[in-house]
Amino acid sequence: MGSWYPDGLRFTCTMCGNCCTGQPGHIWVSPEEEQEIARHLSLSLEKFRKRYTRLVGDMSSLLEKPNLDCIFLTDDRRCAIHSVKPRQCLTFPFWGRYTESKEKWEQASIGCPGIGTGELHTADEVDALADPETSRERLWDLMKKKPPE
């Protein structure tokens, strides 16, 4: 990766909420993330799974509301579980399928007004965001965001 963006990529979230709604999709949550979100909501793992997730094959995905908003998108278009949101959400839009080419990155910008503007993320930072080995703490850093206290 990195070959088409040697000078990095620009992105700053405008908090529009578009990526938390729209087309039906999957918001994958790992067992560790389920534990963390359940703890954050003061729910047992079992209750959290029953109330907020569905199984897709052997993987767990957050539920969507009937209007296709994520179950955790609030009325003012914020994430109700921001500090413990799944890795998939935390690293958006630096997903391999968007950063693999200039065309894909530009296509993704149609739905995400933060792409191509704001903070510069170096090529190394962009690559680290797509690396499953990168720690969650580092991901917050790389996204130039901080989880709320």
Binding-site ranges for ligand SF4 (CB under 6 A): 13-20, 27, 62, 70, 72-73, 79, 81, 85, 89, 92-93, 112-114
In the complex with ligand SF4, the residue whose CB is nearer, 38 or 62, is 62
Minimum CB distance to ligand SF4, residue 17 (Å): 5
Task: Answer for the pair 81, 43: CB distance below 8 angstroms, yes or no.
Answer: no
Q: Select 2 or 111, whichever has its Cβ closest to ligand SF4.
A: 111
DSSP label at residue 75: T
Backbone φ and ψ of 22, nearest 5°: 90, -135
Nearer to ligand SF4, 6 or 121 (CB): 121
Q: Tell me the two tokens of residue 50.
A: 């029953």
Q: How many other CB atoms are found less than 10 A from the CB of residue 97?
A: 10
The residue (of 6 and 148) whose beta carbon lies closer to ligand SF4 is 148
CB of 29 to ligand SF4, least distance (A): 8
DSSP summary character for residue 21? S
Token pair of 68, please? 């296709």
